[in-house]
Amino acid sequence: MPGVVLLTAVLAVWKVDLRAITDNDVLLGTIFVASSYMVGAMGNILAYLLLNYVSQNTIRPLMLRFFTPRGLESLESLTKESINRRYSEVIDVGLSCGNARIEGEVEKRRQTGRILRSTLSPAWLALIVILRNECWPAWEILLVCIGYYVALLLLYGFAEVIVFKEGLRGERVR
């Protein structure tokens, strides 16, 4: 599909008569679907960078220290890197512990993080469109988008805590 979009871009750059393309509904539909797919993929990659990468370097260690009960795991003395390494280990064990119920729970909880990530770009676009229609100044729209991002980052960090706790259950079973 990306090839279809690339072909259209190349034809436009080379100033090829695009009327032949615009008269073909099937080709236009294909280009629309391919473009939508590419925009969605770019949105997911952007959200992954803005949520997962930022979370693992900021909020995840703090949330895990704060919300993981001391009886389950002691994380207070660990560095950020050690906490992230431990998080990955626990998730891997939770996904391969041999208990189908726990493995399913870990996977289901991970899906929560994916769902949160997938809302970032569409929500930003919706906020921008709605607030621009209400004639909000650009700086206020930016503040609302940043506020949404911070709230989503906190929710994402808490979702990671839940995944961690489920993974610990798998570690105890193993």
Number of Cβ within 10 Å of residue 87's Cβ equals: 20
Residue 58 in domain: yes
At 71, is the pLDDT very low, low, confident or very high (cuts 50, 70, 90)? low
* Number of domain units in the chain: 1
Average pLDDT, the chain: 85
Number of Cβ within 10 Å of residue 14's Cβ equals: 7
Stretch among 20-24, 50-54, 64-68 having the lowest mean pLDDT? 20-24
The structure's pTM equals: 0.78
Question: Which tens digits make up the pLDDT trace of 94-136?
Answer: 999 888 998 999 999 999 999 999 889 889 988 998 999 899 9
DSSP 162-173: HHHHHHHHHHHH
**Three-state SS annotation for 30-87:** HHHHHHHHHHHHHHHHHHHHHHHHHHHHCHHHHHHHHHCCCCCCCCCCCCHHHHHHHH
Residue 24 in domain: no
At 31, is the pLDDT very low, low, confident or very high (cuts 50, 70, 90)? confident
Range of the structural domain that residue 130 is part of: 44-173
Residue 126 in domain: yes
The pLDDT value recorded for residue 1 is 47
Residue 15 in domain: no
Residue 112 in domain: yes
Residue 8 in domain: no
- What is the residue whose two structure tokens read 């993974």? 167
